[in-house]
Amino acid sequence: MKSERIIDKVIEETLEISRMAVKKTEKKPKAPIKPLEWAEELEKSHASFVQHWEEGAAAQRMRLEGIGKGQPAIGYMQIEVDNPITRAMASPSFRQEHGSPQVLAVHRSYIAMGMSNGSVIIIPSKYSSNQADDTDAKMLFFWNQGEKTQSPVTAMCFNPQGDLLLVGYGDGHMTIWDVQKATAAKVIYGEHTGAVVHVCFIHQCKAITGDSKGLVLLHTFSIIPVINRLTVKGIQRLFDGHTGIVLSACPLLADDSFGSGNSSMPDSLTTSSSGGHGSMMGGVVGVDSRWKFFNEGSSPMEDGVTVMFIMHQHALVVRLRTNIDHVDHIETFSRPEGAREGSIAYAAWKYTSSLSHSSPTDEDRVSWLVLAWDRQVQVSKFVKSKMIKHNDWKLDSVAVGVAWLKDKMLAVLNLRGQLCLFSKDGSELRRTIFILDGLVLEDSILYHTHFSNRFGNPERHFNNSVAVRGATVYILGPSFLTVSRLLPWKERIEALKRAGDWMGAMDMAMKLYDGHTQGVVDLPSKVDSIREAIMPGLLELLLSYIDYVFEYISIALSNHTGKRGAADGLINADRSLLTEREEEYARVGGVAVEFCVHIGRNDILFDTVFSKFVAAQSGGVFLEALEPYILKDMLGSLPPEIMQALVEHYSGKGWLQRVEQCILHMDIPSLDFNQVVRLCREHGLYGALIYLFNQGLNDFRTPLEELLYVLQNATRKDATCYRMLVYLKYCFQGLAFPPGHGIIPRAQVHSVRRELVQFMLEESKMLTSEVFKGFSSSGKCPNICYLLWMDTEATLEVVKCAFAQENFQPTSYTPDASVSKDEDDTNIERTDSQNVLVQSLVDTIIHITGLENEAIHSVLVGTAESEESETWPSVKDFGYIIEFVSFYISNKRARSSQRVLKHILKYFTSSSTPSYNDNNVLAQKEVLQLFNVVPHTDWNSDYVLHLCLDAHFHQACGRIYTARNQNLSALDSYMKDRVEPYHAFIFINRKLFQLADDEALSFRSTVIFRFAELVNLSRECAFVLFLDHFQNEIQQILSEFHSDNRSHFLFLKTAMEVHLSGKLDFSSLTAQDNEIGARHYLSGELEDYLQRLSNVPKLFDRNLVSMIDELFEPYLKLLCQYEPRSVLKFLETYESNRLDGCLQSCLDYGVTDAAAFLQERRGYVRSALTLVLAGLDEKISQFITSLENAFSHISPKRISEIEQPAIVLKMSEAHPVLDTLRSSIGLCQRNSQRSDPEKSQSLWFQLLDSFSEPLKKLYGSKDVNGKGCRSEGGETTNGHPTGKGFSQQMVISAYERCLNTLWRVFSQFVGEIIEAMAGYIPLPTIMSKLLADNGSQEFGDFKLVIHRMLSMYHYEKIILETTKSVIEDDSFYTLSLLKRGVCHGFAPHTFVCCACSCSVSKVVTSAVRVFSCGHATHLHCESEQSKSSSEDFKDGCSVCLLTSDTQTGKKSPIISKNGLPKYPMVENEVAYGVYNNNETHHVERSRGLQQMSRFEILGGLQKAQKSLHIETVPPLKLSPPAIYHEKI
């Protein structure tokens, strides 16, 4: 199947990386791996494979996971244009009678349109969030019959109850319509002189109106109850329009029954607040008029109404209080930075009622304000009369309307014709286009142009063309009404289903189930209520999807197999069709599983859904679809019938390992435990069986019984045996099994260990097994016998883990200091109980093997006639048992009889010890450990001594001799131990402190007599012994060295090391200890001695200095004799005045480098150089011979690999020549400064001649005929020999190439000498020397030497290249400046000529010149100005030049062409266009000062031109950019 192939691919990719890492490590030889280690690695690799399989299963994309990253293509909003209102407007008679639509207003019960001929059309339509608007009702037409001229409707608004409609007209009058009676309740004339562009009710009988001239009025109405007549009680002026025009008013109302507009946000939107209302509302009147806004007691909101008034530069939020003579200023929002000048802001409030007396920050008490200004949007919270900024963001297009959809969404319309839905945090939820195909924005939404910006250009205002009620947005166009309705959740899912997007429908359903209801308006707010409401719809969606796909698959198959018969159609179908069928069913199964798991309806999954798959003969596909969700822990339990079917299906396909892993991921309490255990037993799923008992029942013993039962008839080395051992090892170590499933709780580890060990010691109940019959012959057969028979070594290794001394401390455990004392007591009790178990285990093993007897027991498993019968224990098995028993006896955790100890001792001293065949040190350590534990009375010392002598256990023999008080024999035994020599010195130290009188003197004399042997044993330990005990006997000790010069040398060497460095190196002693793994056996006495050695530098006696001076010459002679290569380093370190004696010793033993060093110290430099060069000819001869041999024994094809000088000089025979060369050069350099020139020259030339002579010989040997073997054959131009003497010619060719290589090498030697002497000898002298010595030779013979010498003087070429590079970079820099200067474009600050004050945009007869300062002039104005003025303005701006020449600080007016003075623009005015703040030096640039290139500057300096203006010269950069100097 496709999913399985995906998983296998992921596994293969993951395991390939592991294989590559394994291949790298497999190249190194490895020690053989034991079977237990193999089994443990197998379990880990199995767990690793399972992990990769789980990753593979998890890697295959869940059917519904990730598909909801973007919004669904359909099913979110329904945009409808074809509605009864649009159809009515399309009628020619309608447009002829009523004109075109102008404004729009909505209420929960009505939709109203104002027409161009002054009529108002009202469509009764009740709003419902669950269904579309019903606009088929009869339209109501309102118009004033008595009007002579019909003025268009420019603004409308319903009151909160919907019974009154306030309509404003283009001529300034207003009409209040009684909607129920369809009559004009009141007509108001004379208040506004301009078109009424915005109206809004702030109360049932209070309204704010504003006209295009900025006049804003507050109207108070009253109704006379008796006659039911509406009257205007008062009209008050809020803004007069003198200081700012109010573009619109937006009140915060408690009843959201009628609509508003749209939204968007800015990053740079800023708010500004003022200290008082008057400072920001200079145009508000009424404070001095002493009017009251409301009738007393008429307002349900006693503290007033909050209103936002939007102007061009800012939006003002105020509170109009009841019965108070002033207005409370709340906040001022300034036009945000970046918003276009003249852009119009749109705002909308969302009122949230307070449900309880909770904190002010409660969501129920927060009202929200959205303000969209150009491309920027800000959302603020209104809490307790304070505006708090919530978030802001920036749009990708200019907003033309904003409104709230329910509580959590914002609807924004932009100039692109897009309707965007946002959350309050600025997250975009949905974007759709409301413009019809083929239309532009102006054809889709109406606007008015009653307002102009500061430049006099009209601005489009869309506020009266967009309205919102509930979750529906209404957009009024010139000839149609666009209704954008947010669909309910059921309709959205149905729309997706109809479009065939089943996955999108299910993804939406799952998001709704999770409580993600942004953009959904018909669901409860609480998650539980949402789930209860949508659950029937979710189930219906799933089942309809399954039926739909199954029907599709059935139809597809029937069409393909229709001609083959219905009975055997599927059987005869081709395999590709069957594979495709399975993939389709697997896809449906994955969707069904994930959907049901997500909504928590597993009952439907395993009942209805599974039955549908079984009916379609695809039950196995459904079962396979469960696996990834089980491994991802999304599906934790299965019903019994599903579990049975899963195991049977996977067993038939050979996937039992995958079944086991599925069980490991299930929730055990939710399973039918007995059924799952039975299935695991039947199919051998022992890993899952262990997991079930351990994790489900906290039972660790029963799995052991199950595995032991399997071993009853198992063959030797069966895999089940080792799995059982791995399980035991994990339990003993406190780890959960299988690997990777955590740990066992710390408090439970001890009881688990005890329980499992006791089970191993219990008598076996498997009476019919061959193992039981074999072991029961010895009297008893505990359960451990089966494991010992299978693998004794592995079993004992695992059992050791049960009694490990390490404190088990899981990382997740945190100790509590308050119970530390109780824990210590508990640990002591546990240790005691463990020791009891250890003793029981040791006694059981001793009894099984018969160690209490003289001869051990042998167990025969199987009949004697059977070929498969085996005898236990083998020799190796017996050794493992002895080592196990000895380990616990030596660690004082078990006791045994003398006969058992005898067996143990005999085993360790024998030559067949399996664990110690390569090194008997550890075996000796075990014996010594037994000596420490077992009392001496239990040993037969003579018998033990005999065994230890035969086994060469010198330490053990020394221990026995010490116990017998035979000190000299003990000393002799310890001194025979070359592996651990420090035991001899420990013994000597101990005895020197313990013995007294004659015994002490005798022992000291013996130690002094054998001191040379002690030095050979360990010179460091012997010297420490000398410092501690024998400093006064130094002469006696030195006399013992006369017969052993080697020991004498080692002793003196140690003394010199101590004197020169102040320390000794004991790393070799501890390194031996670590190599043999004996650190575990360190006794306290040994640790003290090693600590004593580490403190030796602190205990050195300073009185040794005089002794060292006396021993200098004897030590130097011995050093020249035994380590001649170390003499020079010693002399360089040690200061001594006995140069003659040292020189004679060095000359006697032929240590020439040290002798040369001493001659140099004496001042005999030439003699020192002669000594250094002594033997040079022999070294050169050996080097040449080795090189010739190398060339003669290598094939011609490989000669090129070794003929390079760098390769040749790596030969070992070349190192002595190089050492001599560099030593000689160093000697000459050190002494050239302090010698006169002639001596220095003589010294260098002596060195030069030493290496020039071999080079001359090579020059003379280049003629091959000199050897008398010129070949008759020829040689081709490519170097391959031809002719009769082919083989001889090959030899000659190799010889020639060898000579050429030697020639280059020695030329390099001579070149190094010349380079070194160049700083001390004049160059002409060196050249004369070379010509004098080589004048008879051809130049080609020594040209390499000449070239090497002259190569040091290439600095002229380097200087030339540097200069060239500097000039090139300077040219590049200059051209870059010129290019940058001509590529700039300038924009004028204003479109007015600075000379004639006329517009530059309307003049087409003359060209326009724009300066870098931002001024612009006509070219003909420049020429006229130049004629009338004495100033020459051809190189710059006339305004700037005049300004720079005028030094007065007064602002004099500029007289324009028409004679009117024009003053400069004030600071707070913003100039039109772009102002270049970076052009700070425009005056200087306008004067035409051109930058000169550096080359011209240098040329001018060379010609000494005095007319050069220094102030125009740019700074000279002598260091060009670094990136252009990579090669220098």
In this prediction, residue 823 has a pLDDT band, given cuts at 50, 70 and 90, of low
Q: How far apart are CA 367 and CA 352, in angstroms?
A: 5
Question: What is the model's pLDDT at position 113?
Answer: 94
Handedness of CA 832, 838, 841, 847 (dihedral sign): negative
Q: Is the pLDDT of residue 1443 over 80?
A: no
* Contact status, residue 990 vs residue 1083, Cβ threshold 8 Å: no
Q: Is the pLDDT of residue 258 over 50?
A: no
> Which pLDDT tens digit goes with each residue over 729-754?
999 999 998 888 889 998 899 999 99
* Contact status, residue 1473 vs residue 1390, Cβ threshold 8 Å: yes
Measure Cα distances from 248 to 176, 612, 1025 in Å: 20, 63, 107
Q: 3-class SS at 698?
A: coil
Measure Cα distances from 1211 to 1158, 1217, 1250, 1289 in Å: 30, 11, 21, 27
* Contact status, residue 2 vs residue 586, Cβ threshold 8 Å: yes
Question: What is the model's pLDDT at position 1486?
Answer: 38
Single-letter amino acid, residue 1413: C
Question: What is the model's pLDDT at position 62?
Answer: 55
Question: What is the model's pLDDT at position 257?
Answer: 46
Q: Quick one: tokens of 1338?
A: 């051809």
Q: Which of 432, 445, 447 is nearest to 475 (CA)?
A: 445
> Which pLDDT tens digit goes with each residue over 703-713?
988 888 887 76
Q: 3-class SS at 1232?
A: helix
Q: How far apart are CA 23 and CA 1403, in angstroms?
A: 84
Q: How far apart are CA 1226 and CA 468, in angstroms?
A: 98
The helices-and-strands tally (H runs, E runs) of the chain is 58, 37
Q: How far apart are CA 771 and CA 704, in angstroms?
A: 17
- Among the residue ranges 618-632, 972-986, 1119-1133, 1338-1352, the one predicted with the least confidence is 1338-1352
Higher pLDDT, 535 or 1275: 535
The pair phi, psi for residue 203, each rounded to 5°, is: -165, 170
Question: What is the model's pLDDT at position 1190?
Answer: 81
* Contact status, residue 154 vs residue 148, Cβ threshold 8 Å: no
In this prediction, residue 391 has a pLDDT band, given cuts at 50, 70 and 90, of very high
Question: What is the model's pLDDT at position 207?
Answer: 92
In this prediction, residue 1281 has a pLDDT band, given cuts at 50, 70 and 90, of very low
Question: What is the model's pLDDT at position 217?
Answer: 93
Looking at residues 1486-1507, what average pLDDT do you find?
47
* Contact status, residue 108 vs residue 127, Cβ threshold 8 Å: yes
Note the helical H segments in 1030-1164: 1034-1039, 1045-1061, 1067-1075, 1084-1094, 1104-1110, 1112-1122, 1127-1133, 1139-1149, 1152-1162
* Contact status, residue 1143 vs residue 1158, Cβ threshold 8 Å: yes
- 3-state SS track over 545-591: HHHHHHHHHHHHHHHHHHHHCCCCHHHHCCHHHHHHHHHHHHHHHHH
Q: Quick one: tokens of 1243?
A: 């010294």
Each as own residue / partner, the long-range contacts of residues 1316-1325 (CB below 8 Å, 24 or more positions apart, any chain) are: 1316/1225, 1316/1228, 1316/1229, 1317/1228, 1317/1244, 1317/1248, 1318/1349, 1318/1352, 1320/1228, 1320/1229, 1320/1232, 1320/1233, 1320/1240, 1320/1244, 1321/1240, 1321/1241, 1321/1244, 1323/1349, 1325/1241
Q: Which of 537, 528, 546 is nearest to 608 (CA)?
A: 546
Q: How far apart are CA 369 and CA 308, in angstroms?
A: 10
Higher pLDDT, 1199 or 199: 199
pTM above 0.75, yes or no: no
> Which pLDDT tens digit goes with each residue over 88-125?
888 988 888 889 999 999 999 999 999 999 999 999 99
* Contact status, residue 1220 vs residue 1176, Cβ threshold 8 Å: yes
Q: How far apart are CA 1389 and CA 1475, in angstroms?
A: 6
* Contact status, residue 195 vs residue 171, Cβ threshold 8 Å: yes
Question: What is the model's pLDDT at position 1487?
Answer: 35
Question: What is the model's pLDDT at position 1238?
Answer: 86
Q: How far apart are CA 261 and CA 348, in angstroms?
A: 7
Q: Give me the sheet containing 345-350, strands edge to edge.
A: 345-350, 367-373, 376-383, 386-394
* Contact status, residue 394 vs residue 269, Cβ threshold 8 Å: no
> Which pLDDT tens digit goes with each residue over 502-532?
888 888 898 889 888 877 877 888 889 999 9
Higher pLDDT, 1348 or 906: 906
The pair phi, psi for residue 389, each rounded to 5°, is: -65, 130
* Contact status, residue 802 vs residue 756, Cβ threshold 8 Å: yes
- Per-position b or e across 528-538, b if 16+ CB within 10 A of its CB: eebbeebeeeb
Query: Could you say which DSSP state residue 1399 is in?
Result: B
* Contact status, residue 677 vs residue 692, Cβ threshold 8 Å: yes
* Contact status, residue 1297 vs residue 1199, Cβ threshold 8 Å: yes
What is 595-645 written as a DSSP string? HHHHHT-HHHIIIIIHHHHHHTT-HHHHHHHHHHHHHTTS-----HHHHHH
Measure Cα distances from 292 to 219, 309, 329 in Å: 11, 19, 17
Q: How far apart are CA 613 and CA 623, in angstroms?
A: 10
- Alpha-carbon Rg of the chain, whole angstroms? 54
Looking at residues 1349-1368, what average pLDDT do you find?
66
Looking at residues 782-811, what average pLDDT do you find?
78
Q: How far apart are CA 1183 and CA 1190, in angstroms?
A: 11
> Which pLDDT tens digit goes with each residue over 11-36?
455 545 555 554 544 444 555 788 88
Q: Quick one: tokens of 700?
A: 């660790």
Site of tokens 């005798």: 1002
Q: How far apart are CA 101 and CA 1268, in angstroms?
A: 122
- 3-state SS track over 1202-1225: HCCHHHHCCCCCHHHHHHHHHHHH
Q: Is the pLDDT of residue 1269 over 50?
A: no
* pLDDT more than 70, % of the chain: 71
Q: How far apart are CA 376 and CA 395, in angstroms?
A: 6
CA dihedral 872, 876, 880, 882 (to 10 degrees): 80
Q: Which among 533-547, 938-952, 1133-1147 has the top mean pLDDT?
A: 533-547
Q: Which among 129-133, 406-410, 836-840 has the top mean pLDDT?
A: 836-840
The gap from C-alpha 1445 to its chain's centroid, in whole angstroms, comes to 64
Note the helical H segments in 268-398: 277-280
Q: Average pLDDT, whole number, for the chain?
A: 76
Query: Could you say which DSSP state residue 530 is in?
Result: H
Measure Cα distances from 412 to 246, 461, 521, 1521 in Å: 22, 15, 17, 53
- Among the residue ranges 378-382, 1281-1285, 1367-1371, the one predicted with the least confidence is 1281-1285
Site of tokens 């914002």: 410
Element (H, E) at 165: strand 164-169
In this prediction, residue 933 has a pLDDT band, given cuts at 50, 70 and 90, of confident
Q: Is the pLDDT of residue 813 over 50?
A: no
> Which pLDDT tens digit goes with each residue over 1056-1076?
888 777 777 777 666 555 544
The pair phi, psi for residue 2, each rounded to 5°, is: -65, -45
> Which pLDDT tens digit goes with each residue over 37-85?
888 888 887 776 655 555 555 455 555 654 544 555 566 788 888 888 9
Site of tokens 């059982």: 724
Helix, strand, coil percentages in the chain from 3-state DSSP, rounded to 5: 50, 15, 35
Site of tokens 């289903």: 497
Measure Cα distances from 1044 to 414, 978, 1013, 1492 in Å: 107, 19, 9, 91
Q: How far apart are CA 265 and CA 426, in angstroms?
A: 8
Q: How far apart are CA 1000 and CA 993, in angstroms?
A: 9
The neighbour count for residue 1097, using CB atoms within 10 Å, is: 11
1485: CB partners within 8 A, 6+ apart:
1412, 1436, 1479
* Contact status, residue 1334 vs residue 1257, Cβ threshold 8 Å: no
